[in-house]
Chain A
Amino acid sequence: MKPAPFVHHAPRTVEEAVEVLARVGHDGKVLAGGQSLIPILNMRLASPAHLVDVNAVSGLDDLTVTADAVRVGALVRHARLEHDQVVYGASPLLRRVVRHVAHPVIRNRGTTVGSIVHADPAGEMPAVLALTGGVVEVASARGAREIPCHDFFLGPMETALEPDELAVGVRFPLFGATTGTAFAERARRHGDYALAGVAAAVAVEDGVVSSARLSFVSVTDVPGILDVTEACRGQAPGEIDWSACDDLVREHLAPEDDIHATAEYRAMLATQLAHLVLAEAATDAVAAQGDSAA
């Protein structure tokens, strides 16, 4: 349970970091919070020859709220995202979700960007990035680029990030005033990997649903958006039978059997959670509009 030897790089700037990544290529791995990477190293599931420890890189720990997004730098720990009041005011969904990421002690060290780059299908933050239509900001010696989340997640634990690239931040776009959000997941114990989790964003305009979208944790290979608007458009939130979305949800899911639950159980659970979060998000949308009207 000890990592294999590696060369430790401690760059101070993004330029230095990407220069090292360009040099070491596939033999390199970026270390930020390490709450997923170090267990993998300890168990020797991976033994990269070079670790590029970005913890001392300046300019990566900014957490900012702009008019249209929450931007999270690569060194922002989950705990900071969770507790920031300005972020909560702009996007309550982020706090609701990040509280489900492991335990508080893990959130003190683990980073939100790291969680997204890790691209575990059981990760909560990739699902939120998908639901919000977020963007990953990337730097490399070749230049900067931005990768929209629908191009970023390629498969379980696989992203569009090239070996010489460093994710320097992500942006979670904000929803408009007519949209409510909700998140729910179920695990054997709080803090464990979820058996299934669902995030919802529902827009209500003139008293009826105008759009409804979902993203999932632990029941799809890659986080993506499922648009269920066609099953509920034009209906008043209190009168919707959300099971009308079930066929769309089932078709979207690709759950797997493991020791914790069967694929069928996960699918059933995700379908039920979808009802729950769709209803909550619709209520949230109505309540938010009531607040602003009052």
Chain B
Amino acid sequence: MSEPVPEVLLDVTVTVNDVPRHARVPARRLLSDFLRHDVGLTGTHVGCEHGVCGACTVLVDGAPVRSCLMFAVTAQAHRVATVEGLGTVEAMGPVQQAFTECHGLQCGFCTPGFVTTVTAYLEDHPDPTADEAREAISGNLCRCTGYQNIVKSVLRAAEIKAEASASEGPAAGSTA
């Protein structure tokens, strides 16, 4: 094709979990690598790097997006949320709690992508059926669980969210 292009570094700032993160990176830096290597947030996992497996899914302005199919330089205009932004070990988000309760993970490699995808899904679909839950996770691959417990986790997460909003009133602890 064309002659090799010399590497040029750019100043890139991306807002990740509400914190502006800056690094000097080449334009070809994928958002997934920016998050892991430059910012040090290794919760976002990298599986296939061509958009099939879903492990690297993050929320961009609240919507799930493959971070391996977006350049960090393009992400500058947006708010990015990773699995680290959806809860902590002490205070897990509803989806994280549901995956824990329902044994929705085994090796855990794919889990960050499921948690981000399901978090966004439940914002728009607070009361899914089992079939809808299965469809919602159809873009994420898991090679351990056989998906049964992940479907249960999605349904349980919806319950936890409903219980929380019933007992605490509106908008308690909602995530980006």
Contact = CB atoms under 8 A, between A and B. Distances in A.
B94 interface: no
A136 B138 CA distance: 32
A55 B50 contact: no
A5 B28 contact: yes
A13 B25 CA distance: 25
Interface in A22-55: 26-27, 31, 34-35, 38-39, 41-43, 46-49, 51, 53, 55
14 contacts: A2-B49, A4-B28, A7-B27, A8-B10, A27-B1, A31-B74, A34-B74, A35-B69, A48-B1, A49-B1, A104-B136, A108-B63, A108-B64, A109-B69
Contacts of A26: 2
B4 interface: yes
A5 B65 contact: no
Interface string B11-34: 000000000000000111010010
A48 B51 contact: no
B7 interface: yes
Contact of B139 (A4, A41, A47, A106): A106
A1 interface: yes
A53 B50 CA distance: 19
Contacts, number: 107
Contacts of A4: 4-5, 28
B2 A49 contact: yes
B135 A190 contact: yes
A103 interface: yes
B10 A38 contact: no
Contacts of A189: 138
A187 to B, nearest CB: 11
Contacts of A41: 28
A49 B138 CA distance: 35
Given A6-B28, A27-B2, A108-B65, A39 B51 contact: yes
Interface residues of B, number: 36
Nearest to A39: B50
A47 B117 CA distance: 30
Contact of A55 (B4, B64, B74, B138): B74
B4 to A, nearest CB: 7
Interface string A73-109: 0000001000000000000000000000011111011
A39 B139 CA distance: 16
Contacts of B139: 102-106, 191
A234 interface: no
A11 interface: no
B69 A49 contact: no
Interface of A: 1-8, 10, 26-27, 31, 34-35, 38-39, 41-43, 46-49, 51, 53, 55-56, 79, 102-106, 108-109, 189-191
The 5 closest A-B pairs by CB, nearest first: A103-B139, A8-B27, A39-B50, A1-B49, A49-B2
B6 to A, nearest CB: 7
A104 B69 CA distance: 14
Contacts of B26: 5
Contact of B63 (A1, A79, A191): A79
Nearest to A55: B74
B2 A191 contact: no
Contacts of B104: none
B8 interface: yes
A2 B138 CA distance: 25
Contacts of A8: 10, 27, 71, 73
Nearest to B121: A104
A136 B73 CA distance: 28
A281 B70 CA distance: 38
Nearest to B75: A55
A159 B30 CA distance: 28
Given A4-B28, A48-B2, A109-B66, A43 B138 contact: no
Nearest to A106: B51
Given A5-B7, A109-B65, A53 B138 contact: no
Contacts of A42: 30, 49-50, 68
Contact of A49 (B5, B7, B60): B5
